[in-house]
Amino acid sequence: MSRSASVAQSTSRRKYTNKLHNEHVLIFGGTSGIGFCIAEACLEHGAHVTISGSNKAKLEQSLSRLRNSYPDIPTSNIRGYTCDLCPADTYNTLNTNYPNTKTPAPTPLETNLIQLLNQTTAQKTRPLHHIAFTAGDSLKTSPLKPTAPKDLTVPTIVAEAYLNAMRDGFCTGQVLGSDGGRLLV
């Protein structure tokens, strides 16, 4: 095999290793399981990582594990914030409005997501490039029927919040895949 063929072959095996270099990745459910593995892989590929979880103690433990596993990576590249994706009154407040307006007030879940996105982007001064969603319990499944707001799953609400966040210049993602195989553009 010629040297140029060898170089071309070795390059093609590494065509994705730099795709995340200096990208900012937010991982919902990044404190354990697949989410934690995604965080590790992103760090190994040069990304800035923010993990999110609902349990503060578990979040701090996971941040410590990541920082200890990757001591060469600046601690500012490994961040974490708590975010409760299942606040108790999420589905009871979907149809309320701000006082004296027709503008819907955010639900507790939306409020939590807005706070997380603001923390993750440092109040829109730090770009967010990718989101991985691995959080939560198994999704509720039911036969197909018309969907009411109370039937919305957390990933649907996260996707909606993300799409709204993309309206500013610091959220640069363009396409999201859903578990159902649909693309949100």
> What's the whole-number average pLDDT of the chain?
76
Tell me: pLDDT of 44 over 50: yes
Would 5 be classed as within a structural domain? Answer: no
The rounded distance, in Å, linking the Cα atoms of 161 and 128 is: 13
Q: What share of residues in the chain are helix, strand, coil (percent, to 5)?
A: 35, 15, 50
Show the domain range for 162.
19-184
- Candidates 108, 134, 119; CA nearest to 165 is 119
Would 39 be classed as within a structural domain? Answer: yes
Would 52 be classed as within a structural domain? Answer: yes
- Rounded to an integer, the average pLDDT of 25-44 is 95
DSSP per residue over 115-141, as a string? HHHHHHTTTTTS-B-EEEE--SSPPP-
The rounded distance, in Å, linking the Cα atoms of 168 and 170 is: 6
Would 9 be classed as within a structural domain? Answer: no
User: In which band, very low, low, confident or very high, does the pLDDT at 98 lie, cut at 50, 70 and 90?
Assistant: low
Domain count, the chain: 1
Q: Report pLDDT for 7.
A: 47
Q: Which residue has the tokens 């507790």?
A: 108
From 60-64, 68-72, 105-109, 148-152, the region with the lowest mean pLDDT: 148-152
The rounded distance, in Å, linking the Cα atoms of 16 and 44 is: 12
Q: Report pLDDT for 49.
A: 97
Would 13 be classed as within a structural domain? Answer: no
The rounded distance, in Å, linking the Cα atoms of 96 and 105 is: 6
Coil, helix or strand at residue 52 = strand
The model carries a pTM of: 0.66
CATH no. for residue 32? 3.40.50.720
- Rounded to an integer, the average pLDDT of 130-137 is 84
